[in-house]
Amino acid sequence: MKNVIIGILLIGSIALGGLLIQKNNQVVQAEAKLAASQESLADLEASVSQREEQATKLREKLEQSLVESAANAGTAAQLSVALTNRAVAEEKTNAKPANPLAEMFKNPEMRQMMKEQQKTVFATMVEKNYAEFIKTHQLTPEQAATLKDLIAKKMSAGADIGMELMGGDLTAEQRADLMKQAKASGDAVTEELKQFLGDSYAAYETYEKSIPDRMAIDAFKPQLPEGAQLSADQEQQLLQALSSERQGFKFTTDFNDQNDFSGDLTSKFTEDNMNRFFQEQDQLNQKYLSRAQTILSADQYTAYQKSLKSQQDMMKMGMKMAVSMFGTKK
């Protein structure tokens, strides 16, 4: 996945943070059910082996829920945990910083914790999103491991710069310098990828451009009703349709452009730009729906409409947070 400094750590993280919180609530509920099940089994004097089997199954579901949350929400995992811990600490001390999110990114312990968690999150994302490329190009296990390490390295470099940007109290010059550092870091890893992949780099670059669409489809598939799963042909057609529409659409201010390091954040993250982007994104979504209607069944299409709206709502949440953080800086 390309290196989005603001996208990964702000739009993706904060927007999808709500998804993680929802998942965490589900985990708490599931753990309560687990405890109730174990008590019930004890009351019924079930065998030890039966209790262990039941507990194992429930625990596996809990762990899978956490893994899916991390993969879907990207670095939202770090933000959600850190914000929760920060809120608890502030409640005990009655300390209320002016910008809790910025304060969180200034805390060395929290930053280190997030960096450690990023390793697992990024590894999960790379493993899932680039599996098809690795399979199609028949990379050896050693080659696949090198490729995944390079992609994760690029993502991590952007995330580190993003933490600095999120810390607040930066001048326009300092933020511009960080953006230059982000570009330099991304370019350096890109050169490593070119050298490693050689003639296959062009195919990799094409594949990489489809990652947002692959992720959107992956988010959509679990919402399909039973018996209405996508066929391999449908999934490929939908992927091609979404990629074609997205890459051919021109935004006035493209917050999805992961290579735009020009200008200061304050000139980009304004309410006017945000509202215009939402309007244009709605236009693009209508193009998605029009294409999807020719590929999906009625039940599948209904599920896709809901999925698209959900993704749009999470994106808007992140964009509004971005404007509130960067749009008021001097």
The predicted-structure confidence for 232-250, as pLDDT tens digits, reads as follows: 999 999 999 999 999 999 9
The answer to whether the beta carbons of residues 242 and 220 sit under 8 Å apart is: no
Residue 1 scores a pLDDT above 70 = no
* Cα distances (angstroms) measured from residue 284 to each of 6, 116, 248, 287: 21, 36, 10, 5
Residues 191-230 have pLDDT tens digits of 999 999 999 999 999 999 999 999 999 999 999 999 999 9
Q: Residue 268: what pLDDT? A: 76
pLDDT band at 9 (very low <50, low <70, confident <90, very high): very low
Residues 6+ apart with CB under 8 A from 58: 30, 33, 34, 37
**Torsion angle defined by CA atoms of residues 17, 6, 274 and 173, in that order, rounded to the nearest 10 degrees:** 140
Res 74: pLDDT: 43
Higher model confidence: residue 33 or residue 303?
Answer: 303
pLDDT band at 14 (very low <50, low <70, confident <90, very high): very low
pTM of the entire structure?
0.64
Q: What is the pLDDT of residue 242?
A: 96
DSSP letters for 277-293: HHHHHHHHHHHHHHHHH
Mean pLDDT (the chain, rounded)? 73
Dmax (CA) of the chain? 69
Residue 239: burial class (beta carbons within 10 Å; 0-12, 13-18, 19+): middle
Structure confidence at residue 180 as a pLDDT band (50, 70, 90): confident
Greater pLDDT, 176 or 314:
314
Residue range 148-177: average pLDDT?
Answer: 76
Model pLDDT, residue 56:
52
Quick check: 224 and 230 in contact, CB under 8 A? yes
Instruction: Provide the residue ranges of all domains of the chain, joining segments of one domain with +.
Output: 210-330
CA-to-CA distance for 15 and 9, rounded, in angstroms?
Answer: 10
Spatial separation of the C-alpha atoms in residues 192 and 67, rounded to whole Å: 30
